[in-house]
Amino acid sequence: MNRFLLSTLTSFLFLALSCTSSTKEAGAAANTKDTIPTIKKAVASSMAGNFSTQSELRFDSAAIKDFLKKYPDFNKFSKDLNKFYQSRSFSYAWYDGNGLIEQAASLYNRVEQLQEEGITRQLPYSKTFDALMDDNDSLLLREPMNAEAELMLTSQYFAYANIAWEGIDEKETQKLDWFLPRKKLSLKNLMDSLISEEGKTILEKEPVYYQYALLREYLKKYKTLEKNGGYPKITADKKSYKLGDSSNTIKTIRKSLYLMNDLTTPDTLSHVMDATLESAVKKFQLRHGWKDDGIIGAAMIREMNIPVHDRIRQLLVNMERCRWVPVDSKKDYIMINIPAYKLYVVENDYVAWNMNVVVGKSMHKTAIFNGDLKHVVFSPYWNVPPSILKNEIIPGIKRNPNYLKNHNMEWNGNGVRQKPGNNNSLGQVKFLFPNSFNIYLHDTPAKSLFSEDQRAFSHGCIRLSEPRKLATYLLRNDKNWNDASITEAMNAGKEKYVTLAKTVPVFIAYLTAWVDRAGELQFRNDIYNRDNRLAEMILTKE
């Protein structure tokens, strides 16, 4: 997975999600023409041009105050506007000696196409900006170079960057229980970098996590698919379909899988489940996090019948999450994507390996946050959380006086703990990264749950399918530890703390759609109903 995350999630997020890695899109080549006399509304998005580096043409500093008084919705950018123009002695950035530069047209075109970014809201004063960029606008005809037009362009750029590259305010994301570090953009620095890099187009290198652009491409495809009528509704005439079966319903299934790009052959008329269709079914199953048994059952048909409009909505909310993530990170880290039930070990923005995990059930949601893994604890005690003590252990003791003995537990002050051993709820090893949510990674004696497609079974902590592998990885550079000593410590029956020489960042994230490094669009169930809450915040009512 190339490039994830958050300062070190940015790393994540996703990443993970890719479960893999991905490729960047190439930036558009810059147009060599430097200026244009007027701006037309239909300017092509590929219009590039250089930013104005001139310094002789200036406006009065008081113009900023007058501008913000007239357009108060831009007051949130007051500091950025003042810092930017003070640093260039109030010289024009969107004009040169020939008038407005081509970058103004490029910006206007992107603002006009804001919905392609998965954004249904409008920028402030969009109608005013539209009128300004119309070549019949009286302001430009009256005063071809003026401070109001200059400041409108810069403010629209700041507003665009804010909504398309940063997303909703951090206070709003915390209402969604998202406590991962948020990306911080310097709007002034964005403008400075555009002007200082000669020939760079205004939006050539977007400061967003790479998954954003990949999801945006699929958004275009799904919008086209919706416009063309979507995919047909499948009505089953039997409980399941497997290799060799024949049914008219299979024809409908073929068409849907073809439209979803899981079936590559255009033959959608056959009513027989052949090997080609079975392969397409397996591909669909893998893209949705299921076992690829190649059998079409009721659950798969329900998934295939999810309307295109709902999938578009899922893409939009995950694009929004990508706006929050730092662009990339060269650090090694661990990322867990809750809806994917996966842990990813990331090295230099590449997924070295991954494993299945069990996460919290809906009533005991695993929190979305980050921490630094500091300790490996072999043969751990399990200190029973107060909620479990109250709701499960105490009632158990009342029913059976030998409850603690039968479960290898003991009183520990006012609490209860389970002694180390093969049946300990934390298994033979746990991994600690101090946090206020009391969440950690650990082994478990309940191994069978890792073979399930949906793995939300815990009280909030994260159970690992391969805990020994993670312990070996974390201690790989410690000469005091090897396979034999790790095995001994895991089976010692005596708790032992090991402090890592170097902490490892851990990011627990939540993505229900992403593109893997093979370019395939992955979907997962919104197990905590977080997509709906976010959609209500970012999407306008239709």
Residue 400 inside a domain? The answer is yes
Active site members: 442, 461
Residue 155 inside a domain? The answer is yes
First CA to last CA distance, the chain: 36
Tokens linked to 369: 């946050």
Which pLDDT score, from 0 to 100, does residue 417 have? 96
Residue 351 inside a domain? The answer is no
Phi, psi of 41, rounded to the nearest 5 degrees: -65, -25
| Whether residue 40 sits in one domain with residue 181 | yes
Burial of 450 (0-12, 13-18, 19+ CB in 10 A): middle
Of residues 119 and 305, more confidently modeled: 305
| Whether residue 240 sits in one domain with residue 161 | no
| Whether residue 193 sits in one domain with residue 238 | no
Phi, psi of 313, rounded to the nearest 5 degrees: -60, -40
| Whether residue 255 sits in one domain with residue 117 | no
**CA angle at 221 for the pair 103 and 166, rounded to the nearest 5°:** 50
| Whether residue 363 sits in one domain with residue 302 | no
On the question of pLDDT at 20 being above 50, the answer is no
On the question of pLDDT at 457 being above 70, the answer is yes
| Whether residue 257 sits in one domain with residue 180 | no
Residue 334 inside a domain? The answer is no
Which pLDDT score, from 0 to 100, does residue 205 have? 61
Tokens linked to 540: 């306008």
**Which of these, 314, 313, 349, 354, lies nearest to 333 by C-alpha position?**
349
| Whether residue 85 sits in one domain with residue 39 | yes
Which pLDDT score, from 0 to 100, does residue 34 have? 30
On the question of pLDDT at 425 being above 80, the answer is yes
What is the distance, to the nearest Å, from the Cα of residue 305 to the centroid of all Cα atoms in its chain? 25
Structural domain count, the chain: 3
Residue 202 gets the label, from left (phi > 0), alpha (psi -120 to 50) or beta, of alpha
| Whether residue 299 sits in one domain with residue 390 | no
* CATH code: domain of residue 299: 1.10.101.10
| Whether residue 134 sits in one domain with residue 253 | no
Mean pLDDT of 110-132: 87
Contact 342, 336 (CB under 8 A): yes
Count CB neighbours of 76 within 10 A.
Answer: 14
Residue 527 inside a domain? The answer is no
Whether pTM exceeds 0.75: yes
Model confidence at 166, in pLDDT bands (50, 70, 90)?
A: confident
Contact 42, 370 (CB under 8 A): no
Give the C-alpha distances (Å, rounded to integers) separating 38 from 53, 95, 154: 19, 11, 18
Give the C-alpha distances (Å, rounded to integers) separating 264 from 246, 258, 481: 20, 6, 50
User: What single DSSP character describes residue 296?
Assistant: B
| Whether residue 261 sits in one domain with residue 197 | no
Which of 239, 272, 306 is a domain's end point? Answer: 306
Segments forming the whole domain that contains residue 404:
357-512
Residue 268 inside a domain? The answer is yes
Phi, psi of 444, rounded to the nearest 5 degrees: -155, 145
Q: Write the single-letter amino acid at 26.
A: A
Cα separation, 282 vs 290, in Å, equals: 9
pLDDT digits (tens, 9 = 90+) for 474-483: 999 999 999 9
Please count the CA atoms within 13 angstroms of the CA of 259 that sit on its side-chain side: 22
Mean pLDDT of 482-500: 96
Average pLDDT, the chain: 85
Cα separation, 320 vs 324, in Å, equals: 7
| Whether residue 189 sits in one domain with residue 43 | yes
| Whether residue 256 sits in one domain with residue 193 | no
Residue 365 inside a domain? The answer is yes
Residue 2 inside a domain? The answer is no
Give 189-195's long-range contacts (Cβ < 8 A, gap of 24+): 190/157, 190/161, 191/84, 191/93, 191/154, 191/157, 192/84, 192/87, 194/51, 194/103, 195/51, 195/52, 195/53, 195/88, 195/93
Strand 456-458 relative to strand 350-360, pairing = parallel
Residue 529 gets the label, from left (phi > 0), alpha (psi -120 to 50) or beta, of left
Q: Write the single-letter amino acid at 57.
A: L
Mean pLDDT of 28-34: 32
pLDDT digits (tens, 9 = 90+) for 319-330: 999 888 876 666
Q: Write the single-letter amino acid at 3.
A: R
